[in-house]
């Protein structure tokens, strides 16, 4: 009896599942809409939202259906986020689908992009349970093709964005300046021995003699300015300033003649030295200083200034004793050019005796060659001789970045940052490496510390925003930049005319420039533009042939004989 009952129950269950399977069979593709379709890579991810419908009298009242988007590519698949729906008789918290009326539903997933996904298909997978037990699955339904990966053409490579050099401070000619004053008594123009024998005068004449006798030095200029203090009549002060200038020039010419130095003297005078007066007042502790400075700012007429200051009787006595005597003078100003090593000398010493050069001279030597291998050797010598100078590490990292060796570049940038963590150019370069490696948040942090870097920060930031999928911010950041990355941003924003103009203005067009031109042609149904640009891209870089044949941008050209002849 028990065996018969078990047999009856088994048959009923089997019939029940059979009935379920029959009623919940394959769903037609036209019940589903995917946004976007085809799928698109944005910010390194593929977002897919599927809106679907279960038809009337389809959904078993006792069933639960787990719907999972599945992206299939290159013989493998990635499963997305599962969402469960339930029939009217099921106890649970999932969306209920009516058996009689059917019901609309939505599922959404985000897939982390890998290059193989460029040629992929999106399916919906349906796992079924009836009364809590597994039931035959509903056949998978293909709902979209994918994915457009054009955004992945954004590049931080050295061919697109230049890394930043930390520059040398080498100067071929260094200007050394020196000044000396000769003071005069009130209303007098006589040179006093105490003044001509001062240490200032001795130092200045010694500097002239040293410039005359030193091979890499020469006097650039020697000027004298005669002054009078701003008290007394203007005509008197003018005469005093001119006479003080003349007697000082006569004395200095005599000294130059003794040392046989042929130096031309420039001459000028200032009748009333109000600027000198103001400077000395600002530096003084004189009572009513601020009141006197206010007078200078309120009045421009010299006579009125003098009257107003003399009215401040308590201060004027101190001014007469401490300030005005310092303004009765002549000033000698000497500039000597110290001429550094020639480019030829620096180049030879960098090769044969690098330790004889300063860090700045060695860094400068690297700028005298365009050969990256030679630059790397010189920067390594900077590191060997000046290991605490971050510039050697950063600039060697820059060379490795240009050479495409990102890991070595990162190693050197990191060493540079240990020495100079706040350096804008070093942080910029670390940001480029992070961007190239797809570490977008880290790149943004480094770029945030890169203000003032010796590089095009807007180009790097614009590329970062493209990589993050923020095309609006990228547009603002790029501005009028003419680069592949800027044109890519315009393509992604659908501004194809602007993208054409940008590509035509790229200073060093490469394979990517041409490939982007082909994408514009495909999106605007211009076959000749597609063909011509693809030919150019593949001629420059054969890898673009394989990329084009799997690129959904060119899906409608795949059956075209001309297209296939270009990419094969």
CA distances from 518 to 137, 488, 507 (A): 43, 12, 18
Domain annotation covers residue 111? yes
Give the integer Cα–Cα distance in Å for 488 and 521: 13
Query: For the chain, which residues score pLDDT lower than 70?
Result: 1-23, 313
In this structure, the answer to whether residues 241 and 308 fall within a common structural domain is yes
In this structure, the answer to whether residues 17 and 74 fall within a common structural domain is yes
Domain count across the chain: 2
pLDDT at 461: 97
Q: At what angle do helices 406-419 and 424-436 cross, to 10 degrees?
A: 150
Q: How far is C-alpha 105 from the chain's CA centre? A: 45
In this structure, the answer to whether residues 8 and 140 fall within a common structural domain is yes
In this structure, the answer to whether residues 251 and 144 fall within a common structural domain is no
pLDDT at 16: 43
In this structure, the answer to whether residues 72 and 208 fall within a common structural domain is no
Give the integer Cα–Cα distance in Å for 166 and 259: 44
Domain annotation covers residue 350? no
In this structure, the answer to whether residues 199 and 318 fall within a common structural domain is yes
Give the integer Cα–Cα distance in Å for 488 and 471: 10
Q: What is the CATH number of the domain that holds 130?
A: 2.60.40.10
Domain stops at, among 285, 314, 339: 339
In this structure, the answer to whether residues 103 and 205 fall within a common structural domain is no
Cβ atoms of residues 167 and 392 within 8 Å: no
Tell me the pLDDT tens digit for each residue of 282-301: 999 988 889 989 998 998 88
Domain stops at, among 339, 363, 381: 339
Domain annotation covers residue 521? no
pLDDT at 315: 79
Q: CB pairs under 8 A, 24+ apart, for 215-219?
A: 216/338, 216/339, 216/340, 217/336, 217/337, 217/338, 217/339, 218/336, 218/337, 218/339, 219/261, 219/263, 219/334, 219/335, 219/336, 219/337
pLDDT at 312: 82
Pairing, β 45-54 against β 33-35? antiparallel
Q: What is the CATH number of the domain that holds 241?
A: 3.30.1330.60
In this structure, the answer to whether residues 120 and 184 fall within a common structural domain is no
pLDDT at 23: 52
pTM listed for this prediction: 0.75
Domain annotation covers residue 8? yes
In this structure, the answer to whether residues 64 and 133 fall within a common structural domain is yes
pLDDT at 14: 42
Q: How far is C-alpha 87 from the chain's CA centre? A: 56
Give the integer Cα–Cα distance in Å for 428 and 432: 6
Sign of torsion over alpha carbons 484, 486, 487, 493: positive
Cβ atoms of residues 271 and 244 within 8 Å: no
Domain annotation covers residue 198? yes
Domain stops at, among 324, 339, 354: 339
Domain annotation covers residue 185? yes
pLDDT at 316: 85
In this structure, the answer to whether residues 139 and 186 fall within a common structural domain is no
In this structure, the answer to whether residues 131 and 198 fall within a common structural domain is no
Domain annotation covers residue 233? yes
In this structure, the answer to whether residues 108 and 206 fall within a common structural domain is no
Domain annotation covers residue 228? yes
Q: Which domain holds residue 316?
A: 173-339
């Amino acid at each position: 009896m028990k065996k018969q009952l078990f047999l009856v129950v088994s048959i009923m269950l089997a019939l029940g599942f059979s009935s379920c399977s029959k009623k919940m069979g394959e769903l037609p593709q036209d019940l589903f809409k995917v946004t976007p379709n085809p799928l698109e890579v944005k910010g390194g991810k593929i977002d897919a939202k599927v809106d679907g419908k279960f038809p009337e009298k389809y959904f078993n009242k006792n069933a639960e259906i787990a719907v999972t988007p599945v992206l299939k590519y290159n013989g493998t698949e990635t499963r997305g986020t599962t969402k469960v729906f339930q029939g009217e008789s099921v106890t649970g918290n999932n969306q209920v689908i009516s058996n009689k009326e059917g019901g609309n539903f939505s599922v959404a997933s985000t897939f982390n992009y890998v290059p193989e996904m460029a040629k992929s298909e999106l399916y919906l997978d349906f796992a079924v349970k009836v009364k809590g037990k597994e039931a035959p699955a509903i056949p998978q339904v293909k709902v979209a093709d994918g994915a457009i990966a054009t955004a992945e053409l954004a590049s931080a490579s050295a061919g697109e964005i230049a890394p930043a050099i930390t520059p040398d401070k080498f100067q071929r000619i260094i200007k050394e300046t020196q000044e000396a004053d000769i003071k005069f008594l009130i209303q007098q123009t006589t040179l006093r021995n105490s003044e001509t024998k001062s240490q200032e005068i001795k130092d200045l004449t010694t500097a002239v003699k040293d410039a005359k006798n030193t091979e890499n030095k020469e006097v650039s200029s020697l000027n004298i300015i005669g002054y009078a203090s701003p008290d007394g009549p203007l005509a008197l002060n003018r005469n005093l300033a001119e006479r003080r200038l003349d007697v000082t020039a006569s004395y200095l010419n005599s000294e130059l003649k003794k040392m046989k130095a042929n130096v031309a003297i420039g001459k000028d005078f200032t009748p009333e030295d109000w600027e000198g007066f103001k400077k000395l007042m600002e530096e003084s502790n004189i009572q009513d200083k601020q009141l006197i400075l206010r007078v200078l700012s309120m009045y421009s007429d010299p006579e009125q200034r003098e009257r107003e200051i003399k009215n401040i009787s308590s201060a004027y006595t101190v001014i007469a004793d401490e300030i005005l005597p310092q303004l009765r003078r002549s000033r000698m100003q000497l500039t000597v050019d110290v001429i550094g090593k020639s480019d030829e000398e620096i180049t030879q010493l960098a090769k044969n005796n690098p330790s004889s050069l300063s860090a700045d001279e060695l860094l400068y030597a690297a700028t005298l060659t365009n050969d990256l291998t030679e630059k790397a050797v010189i920067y390594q010598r900077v590191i060997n001789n000046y290991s605490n100078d971050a510039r050697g590490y950063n600039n060697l990292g820059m060379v490795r970045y240009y050479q495409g060796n990102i890991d070595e570049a990162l190693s050197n940038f990191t060493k540079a940052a240990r020495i100079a963590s706040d350096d804008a150019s070093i942080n910029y370069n670390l940001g480029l490496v992070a961007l190239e490696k797809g570490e977008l948040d880290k790149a943004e942090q480094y770029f945030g510390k890169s203000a003032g870097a010796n590089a095009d920060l807007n180009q790097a930031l614009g590329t970062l925003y493209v990589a993050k999928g923020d095309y609006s911010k990228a547009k603002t950041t790029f501005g009028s930049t003419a680069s592949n990355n800027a044109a890519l941003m315009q393509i992604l924003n659908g501004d194809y005319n602007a993208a054409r103009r940008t590509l035509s203005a790229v200073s060093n067009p490469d394979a990517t420039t041409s490939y982007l031109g082909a994408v514009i042609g495909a999106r605007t149904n211009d076959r000749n533009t597609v063909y011509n640009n693809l030919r150019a891209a593949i001629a420059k870089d054969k890898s673009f042939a394989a990329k084009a044949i799997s690129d959904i941008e060119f899906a409608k050209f795949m059956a075209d004989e001309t297209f296939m002849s270009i990419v094969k």
